[in-house]
A and B are shown apart, each in its own frame.
Chain A
């Protein structure tokens, strides 16, 4: 691609490491590189930095530092949480998850089914909202764990995790939430909530890839998923990814400081872009629940044309977004989230997700809006389904 300028609006896929976060990491590669478990002070001193990061992350979550376990990524945290629940309640063989979970949960569910567990999928409606009545029906005394994401990566929908936790607990089930997309974007205040376990991922909040965390509420036992040495107080083995952990802590601190402001700023930019697109381009629809959504996400379908070709033409202008079309999912079916919502095929293949972050500006929104309509018209001129 020749364009030097990049308009990066794919932040739900990953984010840039913030400059302050990068600076915070640097000493831990070539200077403070000791193993935190070492007896000598050169190594041992690093442990204090890990604990500082733990505190910073706990503050963002509104939790206790002792409730934080550092992992390698959100996927590991998801796996660890579900497996923990199954270990804790060996008599219970049922897992309840939503149909719109991330593959880290869904594919784990498929694997557990192969191993003889019962996995129940909660349906969503056309706006991607959970059917809470169905949830009440499906959770029972056989359920080991209910896992529903706090926010969906494709639509941005925010789910009523507190209510779901309450339903889970009434039946003696644990509740886990994959909050990878929500952490750093919306307030958490976990001390006030009844969430048992929560997964998060560093690279979604301007920390690097390769670090994540699992929150386990005080009082919930945790059986290690990664087994080996005694790191993380025996809960997650493996020499700590010190630079990553320090980065995650710093990123959490920055996110907390600017949270309210960012929510306002991001919603404004997102709404501005969305409104202009809806007004200027015919045959478009928003996929998701506009009343309960992350401030930074919009998923828009452009009917009668296909997502990959839209993305490739946007890419020519340096605009980076993503799509739920079959050609971009890596399988040959459109995104399972859109299909679960019953989005018609006329729209599912042409769905584009724009996801913003602190580095985006209103000027960039206007640039996208300038380049997008001609892209859509161009593809519609090629489509056999347009103009009928």
Chain B
């Protein structure tokens, strides 16, 4: 069902560092049996506060065991500061990849590490804060809105299903999925409307002449957008460009589809904003 890669299978079949430490310098337990995932992490530090030894015990699936094994390999030799910066993405990187639905196993690894460090330092874990702060959105798995926002930001998640894969929220009764999507839409609206910090595909719009802009729009419509719509029996025609307003005509199946406004925004407008200019607004003309 999951088609695990070789590295994941290796860490599952031959997990490194299984066990407990008698008198650990740092330890933490995350998850529980009702969730179906639990991880107990033990750390021993040397004189320079580097992680000399790391051991774990895990209750969970192959991904959970593999993620825990990978985590302990990753952090051995790190200082606490370095370890504090480890994210679930580093764990996944060591394993190559994990199935989307199993990403929450890597998140559990990160949370155990953060909790262990916080317990050692006597501070409240940043991870644990999010678990207790905020309002519970997913009642089946006890996930708060703060945690959802954090995971979404860190992993650039835009869809509720992705959040479910990384945190289990929405994976029980599913009632909160709409709420999760709202949180994500709100989160990315704020972030998207902020000026771009790094160079992206859009050349900040103002760098092109008007003719260059129109040619680029035409190119994107033809090469990027039309093929997508054609797959579903739809089509699109570029009608006019006036300033930042791009007029198109949706055709074929798209013309009569109830979800055409979604297509307009998520496919057409999103792509033009990505490739041409963030200021573009797309309108459909009949």
Q: Do A and B bind each other?
A: yes
Residues of A at under 8 Å CB distance from B?
304-309, 312-313, 316, 325-328, 331-334, 345-346, 349, 381-385
B33–A385 CB distance below 8 A: yes
- Nearest opposing residue in chain A for B140, CB measure: A333
Is A332 a contact of B34 with CB atoms below 8 Å? no
Please name 20 pairs of A and B residues whose Cβ atoms are closer than 8 Å in the assembled complex, sorted by A: A304-B33, A306-B36, A306-B60, A306-B61, A309-B12, A309-B65, A312-B61, A316-B13, A327-B61, A332-B36, A332-B164, A332-B172, A333-B140, A345-B34, A345-B36, A346-B33, A381-B18, A383-B59, A384-B58, A385-B38
Residues of B close to A307: CB separation below 8 A: 61
Apart from A328-B1, A349-B36: 18 A-B pairs, beta carbons within 8 A: A304-B33, A309-B12, A309-B61, A309-B62, A309-B65, A313-B13, A327-B60, A331-B171, A332-B140, A332-B168, A333-B172, A334-B36, A346-B33, A381-B18, A382-B18, A384-B38, A384-B40, A384-B57
**B29 interface hit (Cβ, 8 Å):** yes
Judge if B141 is at the interface, Cβ distance under 8 Å.
yes
Q: Mark B38-80, 1 if CB is under 8 A from A, else 0.
A: 1110000000000000000111111111000000000000000
Look across to chain B and name the residue whose beta carbon is closest to the beta carbon of A346: B33
User: Which residue on B lies nearest to A345, using beta carbons?
Assistant: B34
Cα of A262 to Cα of B95 in the assembled complex, Å:
46
Query: Is residue B15 within 8 Å, beta carbon to beta carbon, of the partner chain?
Result: yes
User: Given the interface contacts A316-B13, A325-B36, A332-B164, does A382 sit within 8 Å of B58 by beta carbon?
Assistant: yes
Are B18 and A325 neighbours in the complex by a CB distance under 8 Å? no
Chain B residues with CB under 8 Å of A346's CB are 33
- Identity of the chain A residue whose Cβ is nearest the Cβ of B60 in the assembled complex: A306
Q: How far is the CA of A385 from the CA of B21 in the complex (A)?
A: 15
Partner of B12, one of A312, A328, A381, A383: A312
Report B215 CB to chain A, min CB distance, Å. 47
Chain A residue, CB-CB nearest to B104: A332
Q: Which of B33, B39, B62 contacts A312 (CB 8 A)?
A: B62
A325 to B1, CA, bound (A): 14
Say yes or no: A304 contacts B59, CB within 8 Å. yes
Q: Give complex CA distance A312, B12 in Å.
A: 9
* C-alpha gap A176/B90 in the complex (Å): 53
With CB as the reference atom, state the residue of chain A lying closest to B165.
Answer: A332
Distance in Å: Cβ of A192 to nearest Cβ of chain B: 42
User: Bound state CA distance, A240 and B186, in angstroms?
Assistant: 52
B170-206 with Cβ < 8 A to chain A: 171-172
Output the nearest chain B residue to A334 by Cβ-Cβ distance.
B36
Residues of B within 8 A of A325 (CB): 36, 61
Contacts of A304 in B (CB 8 A): 33, 59
Residues from chain A with a CB closer than 8 A to the CB of B34 are: 345
Q: Which of B15, B59, B171, B172 contacts A305 (CB 8 A)?
A: B59
* Number of B positions contacting A (CB below 8 A): 28
Query: Could you say which residues of chain B place their CB within 8 Å of the CB of A333?
Result: 140, 171-172
| Residue numbers in B under 8 Å from A306 (CB-CB) | 36, 59-61, 64
Cα(A346)–Cα(B34), bound, Å: 7
Q: 3 tightest A-B contacts by CB?
A: A332-B171, A384-B57, A308-B61
Residues 210-253 of chain B: 1 if any A CB is under 8 Å from the residue's CB, otherwise 0? 00000000000000000000000000000000000000000000
A-B contact count (CB 8 A): 70
CB-based nearest A residue for B59? A383
Residue of chain B at shortest CB distance from A331 = B171
Q: Which of A308, A332, A381, A384 contacts B62 (CB 8 A)?
A: A308
In the assembled complex, the CB of B27 is this many whole angstroms from the nearest CB of chain A, namely 11
From A312, A327, A381, A382, B36 is in contact (CB under 8 Å) with A327
- Name the B residues within 8 Å of A305 (CB-CB): 59
Residues on B with C-beta less than 8 A from A312 are 12, 61-62
- With most chain B CB atoms within 10 A of its CB, the pick from A305, A328, A331 is A331
Please tell me if the beta carbons of A383 and B171 are within 8 angstroms of each other in the complex: no
Chain B nearest CB: distance from A76 CB in Å? 24
Query: In whole angstroms, how far apart are the Cα atoms of A325 and B34 in the complex?
Result: 11
Kindly list chain B residues whose C-beta atoms are within 8 Å of the C-beta of A327. 36, 60-61, 63
Q: How far is the CA of A304 from the CA of B64 in the complex (A)?
A: 14
Distance, CA A327 to CA B61, complexed state (A): 7
The CA-CA distance from A71 to B38 in the complex, in Å, is 45
Q: How far is the CA of A328 from the CA of B61 in the complex (A)?
A: 9
The residue among B38, B57, B61 with the most chain A CB atoms within 10 A of its own CB is B61
What residues of chain A lie closer than 8 Å to B58, measured between beta carbons? 382-384
Within 8 A of A (CB), among B103-156: 140-141
CB closest chain-B residue, reference A382 = B18
Chain B residues contacting A349 (CB-CB under 8 Å) are 33, 36, 59
Chain A residues with Cβ below 8 Å from B57 are 382-384
Q: Determine the residue in chain A with the shortest Cβ distance to B173.
A: A333
Separation of A304 and B35 alpha carbons in the complex (Å): 12
Question: In the assembled complex, which residues on chain A have CB atoms less than 8 Å from the CB atom of B140?
Answer: 332-333
Question: Chain B contacts of A334 at CB under 8 A?
Answer: 36
Min CB distance B148 to A, Å, is 15
Q: In the complex, what residue of chain A is closest to B9 when comparing beta carbons?
A: A312
Whether A382 pairs with B65 at a CB distance below 8 angstroms is yes
Residues of A within 8 A of B36 (CB): 306, 325-327, 332, 334, 345, 349
> How many whole Å from B202's CB to the nearest CB in chain A?
37
Q: How far is the CA of A381 from the CA of B13 in the complex (A)?
A: 13
Set of chain A residues within 8 Å of B60, measured between Cβ atoms: 306, 309, 327
Residue of chain A at shortest CB distance from B4: A312
Interface string of B1-36 (1 = CB under 8 A from A): 100000000001101001000000000010001111
Measured between beta carbons, the chain B residues less than 8 angstroms from A383 are: 57-59
Min Cβ gap B146→A in Å is 20
User: What is the CA–CA distance of A349 and B18 in the complex, to the nearest angstrom?
Assistant: 21
In the assembled complex, the CB of B180 is this many whole angstroms from the nearest CB of chain A, namely 14
In the assembled complex, the CB of B42 is this many whole angstroms from the nearest CB of chain A, namely 10
Give A325's nearest chain B residue, CB to CB: B36
Instruction: State in angstroms the CA–CA spacing of A384 and B65 once bound together.
Output: 12
CA distance in complex: A328, B63 (Å): 12
Residues of A within 8 A of B62 (CB): 308-309, 312
Report the bound CA distance from A316 to B4 in whole Å.
Answer: 13
Contacts of A382 in B (CB 8 A): 15, 18, 57-58, 65
Q: Tell me which residues across on chain A come within 8 A of B38, comparing CB atoms.
A: 384-385
